[in-house]
Amino acid sequence: MTTALDVPGRWTADHIPDQTGRTVVVTGANSGLGYVTARELARHGAHVILTARNTDKGTAALDRLRAELPGSAVELRALDLADLDSVHAFTGALDTPVDVLVNNAGIMMPPRSLTKQGFEAQFGTNHLGHFALTGLLLERLRAGRDPRVVTVSSTLHKNGAIHFDDLDGQRSYTPRGFYAQSKYANVLFGLELDRRLRASAVPVRSVLAHPGYSATNLQSSGPTGLLKAILKVTNRLVAQDVETGALNQLYAAAAPNAQGGQFIGPDGRNEAKGHPTLVQPAESATDPETAHRLWDLSEQLTGVRYDFAPHGAAD
């Protein structure tokens, strides 16, 4: 089910309002959706902090962006979401208010592996890394102007579930199943974050987005064997371009009408292609009990606990 957005015609990057004076952090900004998101927000005046795990690729992306947009306010900082030490180092070095955090980075359908802290790589990177990053930046976001957290999920979240009894996939791992789990966790997290922000009257919006089926390097950098070969073909024959896919998270990050708790995705058939519209998450992903259980577990695993107390509240 999709619901039209309250905008005239199809929303494009040209609709992004002036972002001058806003600071944006985009994870995984060295390529694909993250690069386009960083570029378009910088084009409209934002100070954009690109993050990348691989500093060589990040530097190449930064040079490319500066060549495309001379004089733009962009910088690169190292961030490896598969390493909670890196997340702490990144947030500890950030000394400015943050107006928008785009939780974009991710890995997709690799063979089973573990993060530095021993979590299954897709769950650890796509969910736990962003959970920790958002919590550690919450105070910076509260100091921002019209602050937002945009968490990027996937239509494959509809095939997901949280394997609470086998989170690391030691007993039964499939690349696609555990990718779906991580994207399902993104939706549970984004909606639960919205509920907690509203309940505490914290003026930060938590918005979800997904790119439909967009041609990025995710399909080639993670999968192996036959799966990689299949995705290479479908990328060429079926997927939409990354410029269109990125519009959904750009809308969530910058459109004045984007509201906390909304899920933005393509308006085409099966949400695979098209321009931004309101889409619906899987019904099970809206369950507060499951979200609360995942939240508690995520705090336990990452050691990051969110502070929703009103500013100035007594201890």
- Catalogue the active-site residues: 179
| Bridge partners, residue 205, by sequence | 148
Residue corresponding to tokens 């190449």: 60
**CB-side neighbour CA atoms (13 Å) of 46:** 27
**CB-side neighbour CA atoms (13 Å) of 175:** 17
Question: In this structure, what are the phi and psi dihedrals at residue 125, rounded to the nearest 5 degrees?
Answer: -80, -55
How far is Cα 46 from Cα 38, in angstroms, rounded to an integer?
9
3-state secondary structure 109-174: CCCCCECCCCCEHHHHHHHHHHHHHHHHHHHHHHCCCCCEEEEECCHHHHHCCCCCCCCCCCCCCC
Give the gyration radius of the chain's Cα atoms. 18
CB-based burial of residue 312 (10 Å sphere; 0-12 exposed, 13-18 middle, 19+ buried)?
A: exposed
- The angle at the Cα of 216, spanning 211 to 220, to the nearest 5 degrees, equals 130
Closest CA to 27 of 110, 115, 123, 133: 133
